[in-house]
């Protein structure tokens, strides 16, 4: 804890982490990556009454992403009307030259998402008519998708809008093709396309691609790695008690194993804990669940009543050797060299009123992490140049970090090489392989037995016994039986006792064995009269 | 950079010492019996069963811990010989 604070203090005095600046207008007319908006702060949008927070809401697993955090927030892709050619900019808040335009042209867009969060959400897509840099609409009045967007699927979005400088109408349909005819602007006008949420909901957006008429493009690649997609409260948020903690994660099918866990831990970081840390537990485990199936996971803890102050919540998804045995001792104490599954993220937030020391701790932690993440995004060549006193990039602080802090990717690569080059050598390679088999996810299923039934009538038949189905059915049946008061099934009730019993049994066996160390030799020495 | 260099040199040193040893990716086949395949199938089926008969899973984990403990003991005995406690 103190080591962390001291490290943070050092970094805070040394580094200044500013907001990301840069042009967001490009000439790419087809692809609209919302990642280009990251770091641009709060945008009020074009004509929209609400803003979209694109300051620090990226997901670490999808850096080209932002999260809608505001009720009614929208992302805008400005579309200019230039001599009959429709061009989609990677731009929002565009205030460039107003171009003359004539005519009425149809537009068809394709919309896709590489994330799950769009599923089940109502998304509004709205053309925004403008005239002479003035809103033609008091608010962007798009249509609402009544059908949820499907994961990793391209949806053809059709719009029909007529803007005559006085009135404006628009209809939007999902997967519609010819339900609209024209999208029009008048002279000296331009249109904009926006996507937004309709309610106060947290929508994770990875990539949008707008296109003009043409073939449906290939859907964006879906990140199939086991990872944490998002969790709440968001980093830097200020909330009130009681607080609800939620997490969305994705687990690849190949990583399914009964020893994979998702955990959320909470820690108070204000002065009360700093001063009285030895009297109170430093961390509270909010969620600690084994993963037994692949796909998307959404956890929402029960609402937790918290006093005012600064808090840090950490979400982790990882694979361990021994599941929940020994209260997770092995999860935190040992590095599992046989697993690549590990993703931990921290958020800091304030409940009610923050405290002075809590703010310092929170800010320094954030600065340090932002700095280290910044270094990760910087090339090795650029970092190396910070150590050259003759170079304009000379920076002794970055140089020290560059020299001493190992890069996470390089470290993982070296661990992989060590695993491959050392641990797999004869003869201990057999042990490594044996442990791999024991700890890896199961790849085999229970056998299916087919019994032929021969009859004299010629109507031969077969009976098939699928033990996998039987076990799955039995398990579902057992889990469905729950007590009438608390709604807990057999496993919920007895699992903690069995874990405790087996853990104690193992500890007793090991302690008993340790207590016998030297006893056998002493008895032999006594027999040999060695002590006389 | 320097830390990575040290780690790399250490891994390189260990790797070069043992590079002459054959690499093991699967358990051997003895008298026509594929130990690797049998273990993969057996453990996989056991874990599939354990998803329903979940107490066996913790028994399995407990055995793994004991296996690790006794393996460490044997390694210590191997290196220390008669000086092992």
pLDDT in tens, A343-395: 778 888 888 877 666 666 666 666 666 666 555 545 566 666 777 777 777 77
Looking at the fold, whether A435 and A493 belong to one and the same domain comes out as no
Residue A508: pLDDT band by 50, 70, 90 thresholds?
A: very high
Residues A70 and A148 in one domain: yes
Same domain membership, residue A247 and residue A192: no
Identify the burial level of A361 via C-beta atoms within 10 angstroms of its C-beta, where 0-12 means exposed, 13-18 middle and 19 or more buried.
buried
Are A243 and A291 in the same domain?
yes
Q: What is the DSSP letter of A489?
A: B
Q: % helix / strand / coil in chain B, to the nearest 5?
A: 70, 5, 20
Is residue A243 very low, low, confident or very high in pLDDT (cuts 50, 70, 90)?
confident
| Shared domain check, A180 and A279 | no
CA separation (Å) from A191 to A85, A100, A406? 13, 12, 49
In angstroms, the first-to-last Cα distance of chain A is: 54
Residues A98, A182, single domain; the answer is yes
The answer to whether the beta carbons of residues B50 and A446 sit under 8 Å apart is: no
Q: Which member of B14, B45, B51 has the closest CB to residue A258?
A: B51
Closest by Cα among A338, A291, A350, A282 to A316: A291
CA distance A261 to A246: 16
User: CA A237 to CA A250: how far, in whole Å?
Assistant: 24
3-state secondary structure of A10: helix
Looking at residue A326, what is its pLDDT?
A: 54
- Cross-chain CB nearest to B69 (options A407, A438, A510): A510
Report yes or no: A238 and A107 within 8 Å, Cβ to Cβ: no
Instruction: Note whether A442 contacts B1, CB cutoff 8 Å.
Output: no
Check whether residue A196 and residue A63 sit in a common domain: yes
Pairing, β A448-453 against β A191-197: unpaired
CB contact under 8 A, A322 and B65: yes
Residue B67 reports pLDDT greater than 80: yes
Residue B79 belongs to what domain range? 32-85
Predicted ipTM of the assembly: 0.88
3-class SS at A494? helix
Q: Give the model's pLDDT for residue A294.
A: 76
- Cβ of A407 within 8 Å of Cβ of B4? The answer is yes
A255, A256, A258, best to mutate vs chain B, most B CBs in 10 Å = A258
d(CA B43, CA B49): 10
Q: Retrieve residue B64's tokens.
A: 């793994």
**A60 in any annotated domain:** yes
Q: Check residues A339 and A292 and name the one with the higher pLDDT.
A: A292
Residues of A in Cβ contact (< 8 Å) with B11: 414, 417-418, 421-422
**Chain B positions in Cβ-Cβ contact with residue A427 (cut-off 8 Å):** 24
Q: Which of A29-38, A310-319, A385-394, B26-35 has the lowest mean pLDDT?
A: A29-38
User: What is d(CA A81, CA A102) in angstroms, rounded to the nearest whole number?
Assistant: 8
Q: How many distinct helices (H) and strands (E) make up chain A?
A: 11, 27
The C-alpha atoms of residue A80 and residue A101 are separated, in whole angstroms, by 9
Domain boundary among A354, A373, A397: A354
The most confident of the ranges A144-158, A508-522, B25-39 is B25-39
Query: So what's the pLDDT on residue A96?
Result: 26
Q: What is the mean pLDDT of residues A180-194?
A: 35
Non-local CB neighbours of A41 within 8 Å, separated by 6+ positions:
A19, A54, A55
Q: What token pair was written down for A43? A: 């945008």
How many Cβ atoms from other residues are within 10 Å of residue A523's Cβ?
Answer: 10
Mutate to test the interface with B, among A418, A427, A508 (most CBs of B within 10 A): A418
Query: Could you give the CA distance from residue A244 to residue A242 in angstroms, rounded to a whole number?
Result: 7
Gap between the Cα atoms of A274 and A276, Å rounded: 6
What does the block give as tokens for A80?
Answer: 């200019």
Q: Is residue A528 part of a domain?
A: no
Please report residues of B whose CB lies closer than 8 A to that of A292.
51
Check A437 against B39: CB less than 8 A apart: yes
Residues of B with CB below 8 A from A430's CB?
24, 27-28
Which has the minimum average pLDDT: A18-27, A281-290, A317-326?
A18-27
Q: Please list every residue in chain B whose beta carbon sits closer than 8 Å to the beta carbon of residue A445.
A: 44-45, 48
Least Cα separation, residue B18 to chain A (angstroms): 7
Segments forming the whole domain that contains residue A425: 409-439
Q: Which of A327, A433, A515 to mutate to test the interface with B (most CBs of B within 10 A)?
A: A433
User: Other CB atoms closer than 10 Å to residue A73's CB: what's the count?
Assistant: 27
Q: What percent of chain A has pLDDT over 90?
A: 2
Q: A261 and A237, same structural domain?
A: yes
Q: How many domains does chain B have?
A: 1
Question: How many angstroms separate the CA atoms of A285 and A299, rounded?
Answer: 14
SS3 A365: helix
Query: Which contacts of A528-532 are long-range, i.e. CB under 8 A and separated by 24 or more positions?
Result: none
SS3 labels along A210-276:
CCCCCCCCCCCCCCCCCEEEEEECCCCEEECCCECCEEEEEECHHHCCCCEEEEEEEEECCHHHHHH
Cβ pair B49:A471 closer than 8 A: yes
> Looking at the domain assignment, is residue B74 inside a domain?
yes
| Residue B67 within any structural domain of the chain | yes
Which residue has better confidence, A470 or A361?
A: A470
- A478:B52 CB<8 A: yes
CA distances from A23 to A20, A27, A90, B16 (A): 10, 12, 10, 50
Tell whether B4 is covered by a domain: no
Whether A433 sits inside 8 A of B85 (CB atoms) is: no
**Arithmetic mean of pLDDT, A500-519:** 86
Q: What tens digit of pLDDT does each residue of A47-101 get? A: 333 344 444 444 444 444 444 444 444 454 433 333 222 333 222 222 222 222 3
Q: How far apart are CA A405 and CA A399, in angstroms?
A: 10
A and B: number of Cβ contacts within 8 A: 142
| Predicted local distance difference test score (pLDDT) of residue A364 | 64
User: Same domain for A271 and A297?
Assistant: yes
> Rounded to an integer, what distance in angstroms lies between the CA atom of residue A23 and that of residue A36?
9
Same domain, A249 and A160: no
Q: What is the pLDDT of residues A289-308, one digit of tens each?
A: 777 777 777 777 766 777 77
Q: Does residue A206 carry a pLDDT above 50? A: no
| Residue B3 included in any domain | no
State how far residue A475 is from chain B, nearest Cα, in angstroms.
5
Residues A420-452 have pLDDT tens digits of 778 888 888 888 888 878 877 677 778 888 888
**Contact between residue A291 and residue A261 where contact means Cβ atoms under 8 Å apart:** yes
Residue B85 within a domain: yes
CB contact under 8 A, A443 and B39: no
| pLDDT tens digit sequence for A140-169 | 444 444 445 555 455 555 544 444 434 444
Asked if residue A177 and residue A82 are part of one domain, the reply reads yes
CA distances from residue A182 to A62, A164, A169 in whole angstroms, order as listed: 36, 12, 11
Top-ranked range on mean pLDDT: pick from A36-40, A122-126, A482-486: A482-486
Residue B78 lies in a domain: yes
From the list A325, A384, A471, the residue facing B52 with the nearest CB is A471
A259 and A288, same domain (yes or no): yes
Nearest to B23 among A425, A499, A517 (CB): A425
Average confidence score pLDDT of chain A: 59
CA distance A5 to A343: 22
| Distant-in-sequence, close-in-space partners of A75: CB < 8 Å, separation ≥ 6 | A34, A37, A45, A52, A66, A68, A92, A194, A195, A196, A205, A208
* Closest-CA distance of chain A to residue B62, Å: 6
Is residue A157 included in any domain, yes or no?
A: yes
Interface test with B, best of A257, A290, A322 (most B CBs within 10 A): A322
Residue of A330, A378, A427, A429 to mutate when probing chain B, most B C-beta within 10 A:
A429
Flag if A475 and B51 touch (Cβ within 8 Å): yes
Domain count, chain A: 4
Say which of A322, A422, A444 has its CB closest to residue B18.
A422
């Amino acid at each position: 804890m103190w080591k962390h604070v001291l490290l943070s203090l050092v970094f805070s005095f040394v580094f200044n982490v500013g907001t990301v600046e840069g042009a967001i207008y490009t000439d790419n007319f087809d692809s609209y990556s919302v990642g280009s908006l990251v770091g641009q702060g709060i945008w009020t949008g074009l004509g929209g009454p609400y803003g979209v927070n694109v300051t620090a809401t990226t997901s670490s697993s999808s850096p080209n992403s932002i999260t809608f955090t505001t009720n009614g927030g929208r992302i805008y892709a400005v579309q200019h009307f230039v001599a009959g050619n429709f061009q989609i900019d990677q731009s929002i808040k565009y205030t460039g030259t107003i171009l003359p335009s004539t005519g009425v042209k149809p537009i068809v867009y394709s919309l896709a998402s590489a994330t799950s969060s769009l599923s089940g959400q109502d998304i509004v897509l709205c053309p925004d008519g403008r005239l002479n840099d003035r809103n033609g609409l008091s608010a962007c009045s798009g249509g609402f998708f009544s059908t949820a967007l499907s994961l990793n699927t391209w949806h053809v979005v059709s719009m029909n809008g007529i803007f005559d400088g006085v009135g404006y109408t628009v209809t939007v349909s999902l997967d519609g093709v010819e339900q609209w005819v024209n999208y029009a602007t008048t002279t000296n006008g331009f249109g904009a396309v926006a996507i937004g949420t309709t309610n106060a909901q947290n929508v994770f957006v990875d990539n949008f691609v707008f296109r003009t008429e043409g073939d449906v493009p290939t859907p964006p690649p879906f990140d199939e790695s086991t990872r944490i997609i998002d969790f709440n409260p968001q980093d830097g948020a200020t909330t009130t008690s009681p607080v609800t903690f939620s997490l969305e994660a994705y687990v690849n099918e190949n990583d399914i194993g009964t020893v994979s866990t998702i955990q959320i831990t909470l820690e108070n970081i204000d002065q009360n804990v700093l001063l009285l840390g030895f009297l109170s537990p430093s961390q509270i485990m909010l969620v600690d669940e084994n993963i037994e199936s692949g796909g998307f996971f959404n956890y929402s803890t029960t609402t937790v009543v918290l006093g005012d102050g600064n808090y840090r919540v950490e979400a982790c998804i990882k694979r361990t050797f021994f599941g929940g045995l020994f209260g997770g001792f092995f999860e935190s104490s040992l590095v599992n060299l046989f697993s690549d599954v590990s993703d931990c993220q921290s958020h800091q937030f304030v409940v009610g009123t923050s405290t002075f020391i809590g703010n310092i701790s929170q800010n320094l932690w954030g600065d340090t992490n932002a700095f280290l993440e910044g270094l990760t995004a910087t090339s090795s060549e650029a970092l190396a140049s910070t150590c050259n006193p003759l170079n304009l990039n000379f920076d002794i602080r970055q140089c020290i970090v560059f020299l001493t802090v190992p890069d996470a990717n390089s470290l993982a690569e070296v661990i992989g090489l060590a695993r491959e080059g050392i641990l797999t050598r004869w003869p201990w390679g057999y042990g490594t392989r044996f442990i791999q088999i024991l700890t890896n996810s199961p790849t085999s299923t229970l056998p299916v037995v087919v019994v032929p039934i021969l009859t004299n009538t010629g109507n031969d038949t077969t009976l098939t016994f699928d033990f996998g189905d039987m076990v799955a059915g039995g398990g579902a049946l057992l889990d469905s039986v729950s007590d009438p008061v608390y709604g807990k099934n057999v496993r919920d009730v007895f699992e903690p006792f069995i874990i405790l019993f087996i853990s104690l049994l193992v500890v007793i066996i090991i302690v008993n064995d340790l207590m016998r160390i030297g006893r056998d030799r002493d008895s032999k020495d006594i027999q040999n009269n060695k002590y006389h | 950079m320097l830390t990575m260099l040290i780690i790399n040199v250490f891994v390189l040193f260990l790797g070069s010492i043992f590079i002459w040893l054959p690499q093991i990716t699967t358990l051997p086949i003895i008298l026509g019996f594929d130990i690797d395949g049998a273990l993969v199938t057996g453990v996989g089926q056991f874990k599939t069963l354990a998803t329903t008969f979940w107490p066996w899973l913790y028994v399995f984990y407990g055995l793994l811990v004991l296996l690790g403990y006794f393996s460490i003991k044997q390694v210590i005995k191997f290196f220390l010989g008669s000086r092992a406690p």
